[in-house]
Amino acid sequence: MPTLHDPLIIVTDLDGSLLDHHTYRWQPAKSWLKRLQQQAIPLIICSSKTAAEIIPLQQQLGIANTPFIAENGALVQTYTPHGEPERHYTGKRYHDIHHHLMRLQQRSFHFTAFADLSTEEMARITGLTPHNAAQAQMREASEALIWRDSEAQFHHFTRLLAAKGLTVIQGGRFWHVMDQQSNKGAALTWLLSHLQQRHNTVFTTIGLGDSPNDAPMLEHVDFAVIIKGYSQSPVILQRQDREHAYRTTQYGPDGWCEGLDYFISAE
Ligand SMILES: [Mg+2]
């Protein structure tokens, strides 16, 4: 088991993991966040949220100007040695994706994309404040949508997207359309090799997530915490090292703390 004195990196999903699924509160994890900060252990957000949503949240969490993964792995932000932010996109950009989706809407597939919603509608559906809802709409390399059609149509829809190099994955609340090459695992692999080179250190990684879209990330970390969640589909991992994967009994930030308590030994 790792200790707080090892070269650790914590990689975390937000919604339903560090943030409560209903209230978006992270405060139950405050004491663990403080401990990580005291030991200078990097906390890497790896979320379906946009960069515009993640950056102010990082400030609240006391981890401003540190690397993160946004939009389910479609976007990675790192910093130069001089502290300037650098954006890396792992596949198609928003304009392209939106264009394909509009064409499918015209072919009478019924769905509501984030771009189709006013900020007020977004706020009502997500429970976010209008300010935060607007940040959720500032997408750079993926689109989120609510499916309003049959299951048969959905299969047809995913096949047509696949022909354009796009994929649809399930998040906690919405479906996310993005490049087939992009996912949380691929983004994390890229970011870890970047950080290991930069710091000339091999890090031990602990990942935390609650939904199927976290699975590629949870396959790539040394220790995986599957937080109890509300998702319809379970998180299924292929990894065989059972003792390196833990399912929490608690939801959200309480489960987040439970997972770190489980894997990080006090000494
Ligand atoms: Mg989640």
Among candidate residues 188, 175, 172, 185, the one with its CA nearest the CA of residue 228: 172
Question: In the chain, where does the domain assigned CATH 3.30.980.20 lie?
Answer: 94-179
What CATH number was assigned to the domain covering residues 94-179?
3.30.980.20
- Model pLDDT for residues 150-187, shown as the tens digit of each residue: 999 999 999 999 999 999 988 767 899 999 999 999 99
Q: Is 254 among the catalytic positions?
A: no
Q: What does the pLDDT read at residue 65?
A: 95
Question: In the chain, where does the domain assigned CATH 3.40.50.1000 lie?
Answer: 8-89+183-263
Query: Ligand 1 mean position to 262 CA, how many Å?
Result: 20
- Model pLDDT for residues 9-60, shown as the tens digit of each residue: 999 999 999 999 988 899 999 999 999 999 999 999 999 999 999 999 999 9
List the structure tokens of 194. Answer: 């970047």
Query: Ligand 1 mean position to 163 CA, how many Å?
Result: 28
Other C-beta atoms closer than 10 Å to the C-beta of 87 total 12
Which H helix or E strand runs over 121? helix 119-126
- Model pLDDT for residues 90-134, shown as the tens digit of each residue: 999 999 999 999 999 999 899 999 999 999 999 999 888 999 999
Q: Which of 6, 13, 20, 96 is an active site residue?
A: 13
**Does the pLDDT of residue 79 top 70, yes or no?**
yes
Q: What CA–CA distance (Å, rounded) separates 131 from 71? A: 18
- What value, to the nearest 5°, has the Cα angle with vertex 141 and ends 206 and 9? 15
Q: What does the pLDDT read at residue 44?
A: 98
**Does the pLDDT of residue 267 top 70, yes or no?**
no
DSSP annotation of 260: H
Q: What does the pLDDT read at residue 171?
A: 74
One CATH from 3.90.1150.10, 3.40.50.1000, 3.40.50.1950, 3.40.50.720 for 8-89+183-263: 3.40.50.1000
